[in-house]
Structure 1
């Protein structure tokens, strides 16, 4: 949120430093208190979904929920008050989450049941990354996303193949197994085939004929054998991303060797200065005149 600016000097700036920064004790205390309140509000929603607790403490849950909603509404209003461009914050990721955190309760006044959506408040706890100085891991997260994008075509081909296998085996078992065994339609058989191929095995539907059981064994073995395919593809892309992020493709001007670390100044093989745009400081020191004191 470094692009956000306070509205003016004075009170708004002090509020901005407390709410949007985390390098001061007061800002850290505010963020930790906010996260604690968010977790408490989500816990209230979860407990309210338990029927015995709702019947016994429904009134308490109701007033707690409205207390959290009013508190978060006030907090969002203060955030917008101290900003130079409030709409810029509302269009950001955290702004949308903050808005969604209070809308369900207000919508529940006209749309019964919308109150259960307040669990989206849990997303606001993402601010813990800023509090605990974990933003450095965003780079690693971006590296994983890049690896997923590059392996998207291979993973899509793998999923398409799996869907084909599931459909074929499901159709076979539908023809082989009697309806009494639970295979009443091809979609139901597809459900069984997906559960079997992924080796989950709920057991609510299972073949009763020897041929159907043999197909089940074959599918489970295939599932174990192909589960490593997407893992291997993604792992290879992650390794490639790590190498691309760490190593440079520029060749050494002395020996032509490439794949040097980006922070390297000299070639690991021949010791040549790698940055051709700047002079080698070691060579300059060697060429400097030396005083003869003898």
Structure 2
């Protein structure tokens, strides 16, 4: 939300600084109070779903929920009021979550079942990242996202391979096992195959024939052997990205070699001084002289 801007200088700017920023004590207090209010509203919805609590405190829960809804509605109105482009925020991720957090209660006036959607407010706790100053890890988070983007072809191919293995073994077990064992259809057998391959093993469906049990053993062994494949592919991409960050794209002025480490002062091939804008020409002359003697 770094591209959001206040609508005008004055009250709107002050509201923007309190609501969308966390530099001042008042802004931090606003965020913390909002998070506590979100958690309290979710707790009310969860407790209201318990029959005994609903019978004893149903009226109190109803009034508390409407109080939370009015406060969240005022908060959303204040957010839209202080923004230069309120529609842009309203269509963003946090804007949609803000809208969904108040919409179910208003819809409950027409549709009583709509109140169960209020747990979506829990997503708004994501704002706690601003309070805890976790934005300093955005660079590392982007590194992981880039690694996923670079390795998604290999991971997707791996998933297709796993899916083929599951379908083949599940179909075999469906043919071998009697319906009384629980393998009444191929989708149910595929469920068993996924549970077995991931080595979870709920035990609700198990083969009873020796051949089916042998296939189960093979599927479990395959699961243990392939579980490290996507991890290895993703780890390799992360390591490659970390190595890429160590080097700069600046080419050597002497030989044109690139990919030097950021703190390198001399070219690793010809020894030329890399920083052409250095303020100490004597060091540059010494480096050039050493480079010429080396040639």
Which residue of structure 2 aligns with residue 203 of structure 1?
203
Q: Partners of 2:155 and 2:19 in 1: how far apart?
A: 42
State the SS of the aligned residue for 2:274. Answer: coil
Pair 1:49–1:284, CA change in 2 (3 A): farther
Residues 210-229 of structure 1: pairs in structure 2 closer than 5 A: 210-229=210-229
Q: Partners of 1:265 and 1:113 in 2: how far apart?
A: 68
Residues 126-165 of structure 1: pairs in structure 2 closer than 5 A: 126-165=126-165
TM-fit CA distance, 1:260: 2.4
Pair 1:229–1:107, CA change in 2 (3 A): same
TM-fit CA distance, 1:27: 0.9
Count of paired positions: 286
CA contact (8 A) 1:4 1:84 kept: yes
Q: Partners of 1:9 and 1:250 in 2: how far apart?
A: 43
State the SS of the aligned residue for 1:137. Answer: helix
TM-fit CA distance, 1:254: 5.1
Q: Partners of 1:271 and 1:128 in 2: how far apart?
A: 49
Which residue of structure 2 aligns with residue 13 of structure 1?
13
Which residue of structure 2 aligns with residue 291 of structure 1?
none
Residues 77-88 of structure 1: pairs in structure 2 closer than 5 A: 77-88=77-88
CA contact (8 A) 1:177 1:183 kept: yes
Which residue of structure 2 aligns with residue 75 of structure 1?
75
Which residue of structure 2 aligns with residue 283 of structure 1?
281
Pair 1:4–1:250, CA change in 2 (3 A): closer
Which residue of structure 2 aligns with residue 28 of structure 1?
28
Pair 1:28–1:217, CA change in 2 (3 A): same
TM-fit CA distance, 1:6: 2.4
TM-fit CA distance, 1:25: 1.0
Which residue of structure 1 aligns with residue 120 of structure 2?
120
TM-fit CA distance, 1:107: 1.4
Q: Partners of 2:247 and 2:283 in 1: how far apart?
A: 28
Q: Partners of 1:113 and 1:268 in 2: how far apart?
A: 69
**Per-residue displacement from partner, 1:209-254 (whole Å, max 9, x unpaired)?**
1111111111100000000000000111111122223322445455
Which runs of no fewer than 5 residues in structure 1 stay unpaired?
A: 288-294
Which residue of structure 1 aligns with residue 176 of structure 2?
176
**Per-residue displacement from partner, 1:37-75 (whole Å, max 9, x unpaired)?**
111112222222333322332222211111111100011
Q: What is the TM-score of this pair, normalised by structure 2?
A: 0.88
Pair 1:40–1:246, CA change in 2 (3 A): farther
Residues 234-273 of structure 1: pairs in structure 2 closer than 5 A: 234-253=234-253, 258-262=258-262, 264-267=264-267, 272-273=272-273
Q: Partners of 1:52 and 1:271 in 2: how far apart?
A: 79
Which region of structure 1 is more displaced relative to structure 2, 93-102 or 199-208?
93-102
State the SS of the aligned residue for 2:280. Answer: helix
**Per-residue displacement from partner, 1:104-138 (whole Å, max 9, x unpaired)?**
11112222322122222122112111122211212
CA contact (8 A) 1:273 1:280 kept: no
**Per-residue displacement from partner, 1:10-59 (whole Å, max 9, x unpaired)?**
32222222112211111111111111111111222222233332233222
TM-fit CA distance, 1:257: 6.0
1:167 aligns with 2:167: yes
Which region of structure 1 is more displaced relative to structure 2, 233-242 or 197-206?
233-242
Which runs of no fewer than 5 residues in structure 2 stay unpaired?
A: 286-295
Pair 1:139–1:128, CA change in 2 (3 A): same
What's the Cα RMSD here?
2.3
Residues 56-75 of structure 1: pairs in structure 2 closer than 5 A: 56-75=56-75
Which residue of structure 1 aligns with residue 95 of structure 2?
95
